[in-house]
Structure 1
Amino acid sequence: MSRNSNGQAPDRILRRKLSDQVFERLRDLMASGELAPGAPMPSERDLMERFGVGRPAVREALQHMQSMGLITINHGERSRVNALSADSVLNRVDDVARMLLSSEPDQLDHLKEARRMFECGLVRVATGSATPEDLQDLHALIDRQSACIGDAAQFVTLDIAFHNRIAAITGNPILVATSQSMLRWLFQYHGVLLHWSGKEEVTLTEHRDMADLIGHGDPDAAVRAMQAHLDRSNLLYVHPQGQAAAQV
């Protein structure tokens, strides 16, 4: 192999797929705003002429863009550019995240640890930002949760809504989307365990305490309450391979 004047092997020039190059060009057009959210995509013929490539390269690039959620392809209609948000981006990894959690049981413990750190940070921020409307919403969710004891699925759904509402108080859409994703991934490991745990009233009391502490503006106490709540409730999220040992 020939070497340059420094005695090092020269950098290789890699031949890249045409469809990858078309994809990158289109992605750059979206980033620049030339292809704005909601706008129709150029026709295949226009893209072929613009980039000097054949139809297969254009179609493969468009399929790649659809698989990433960047565009929506409707047969018989012009494809359109999708509006991106933190929630839409994280939704794209839901299936992969669930596969990871199902195939590697240890990842569930890592997720619970990450959620504990994350939600303690959320409740600290929320304690300094909550409005009377925010507090009213939190207490309304607790009342609704109390009214559905015996309906495990609805109880857990409202449990998730309570924690997501705390995230919403931050006003940060990335934090809200991350909270929603974490709880969606945990939900499949909760199931009916909460219903049979006999801890519904404990959960409600803990939620009321957190809402009150947020309202009183005591971030340290709110964080301690969240830590205790998650340390207890995390025992209810069990991977199927460990359910037998967790039934206490």
Structure 2
Amino acid sequence: MSSQPIVRRKLADEVRDRLMTIIRSGELRPGDRLPSERDLMDRFSVGRPAVREALQSLDSAGVIEINHGERARIAVPDTRGMFDRIGQTMLHLLQTSPATLEDLKQARILFEVGMVRMAAQSATGADIEKLAQALDKQRAAIDNAADFVKCDMAFHTAITAVSGNSVCVVLSEAMLDWLFNFRRDLLRLPGSEFITLAEHQQLLETIARHDVDGAERAMMDHLSRANERYRILEDAMMRRSLNGGLEEL
């Protein structure tokens, strides 16, 4: 016989789960409005606080949309919105758990190597032209740090876009955005722009030749060098921080 205690659930959690069951059953479809708070209170025999807390939880999860003065509406599924919602959580995790940054870098390598192999296998003439245009824009932005980084991210996302997989494209944008927002100063090392452009040119050429293994090697080399630049700058920032602390003493 189990001796585990019975956990008493909050009413709001029960209301949230029942609403999720209703939504998943198809009784309510994306764009439909939920019943009023009063109707939900009567339906589930709970008070207004439990209903409101349940609705706020679903709103935070992106399942419903709440606008002031209107009944809540079932949200239309949106992959980009989903990653946007977890963005702040990811940044908090990166700030409080340094090991997570290393995990994110490793995840990016695994992801982008897979994407560049797929691009080299299946890129059409139109895809290659889009990549070339993205690289031209990055070259034109070489004297503008912020624009150069944005174009760098856009080039990598363009490689992912060759897959035609919208989830992969949004995931690529999200990972790059998390890195950019967490360490803006680490994403651009002065003097490294020409190296980055040369590496991107090599990626473009291997994709255009449909050289799958060559594209993988080029991406591995590119990201390995990028991570080494991360390490150099992180070490420099740590030394400055320690020296500053000693000066204050």
* Same fold, TM-score > 0.5, yes or no: yes
Q: Structure 1, residues 190-237: CA drift from partner, whole Å, max 9, x if none?
A: 535565431212211211221221121111000000001111112333
User: Aligned match of 2:99 in 106, 128, 135?
Assistant: 106
Q: CA deviation at 1:153?
A: 0.7
Give the corresponding residue for 1:49: 42
Aligned residue pairs total 240
Q: Does residue 1:146 correspond to 2:139, yes or no?
A: yes
Q: CA deviation at 1:64?
A: 1.0
Q: CA deviation at 1:13?
A: 3.8
8 Å contact 1:105–1:241 — kept in the other structure? no
8 Å contact 1:105–1:239 — kept in the other structure? no
8 Å contact 1:194–1:200 — kept in the other structure? no
Tell me the distance in 1 between the aligned counterparts of 2:239 and 2:221.
19
Q: Where do 5+ consecutive residues of structure 2 fail to align?
A: 241-249
Give the corresponding residue for 1:4: none
Tell me the distance in 2 between the aligned counterparts of 1:243 and 1:81.
49
**What secondary structure is seen at the aligned counterpart in 2 of 1:201?**
helix
Tell me the distance in 2 between the aligned counterparts of 1:237 and 1:14.
46
8 Å contact 1:190–1:237 — kept in the other structure? no
Query: Alignment RMSD, CA only?
Result: 2.3
Q: Higher helix fraction: Structure 1 or Structure 2?
A: 2
Give the corresponding residue for 1:34: 27
Give the corresponding residue for 1:203: 196
Structure 1 residues 159, 77: closer, same or farther in 2, change over 3 A?
A: same
8 Å contact 1:90–1:181 — kept in the other structure? yes
Tell me the distance in 2 between the aligned counterparts of 1:78 and 1:180.
33
Q: Where do 5+ consecutive residues of structure 1 fail to align?
A: 1-7
What code does the residue aligned with 1:221 have? G
Equivalences for residues 163-182 of structure 1 within 5 A: 163-182=156-175
8 Å contact 1:23–1:65 — kept in the other structure? yes
Tell me the distance in 1 between the aligned counterparts of 2:17 and 2:187.
47
Q: Does residue 1:69 correspond to 2:62, yes or no?
A: yes
Moved more, 230-239 or 189-198: 189-198
Tell me the distance in 1 between the aligned counterparts of 2:70 and 2:96.
40
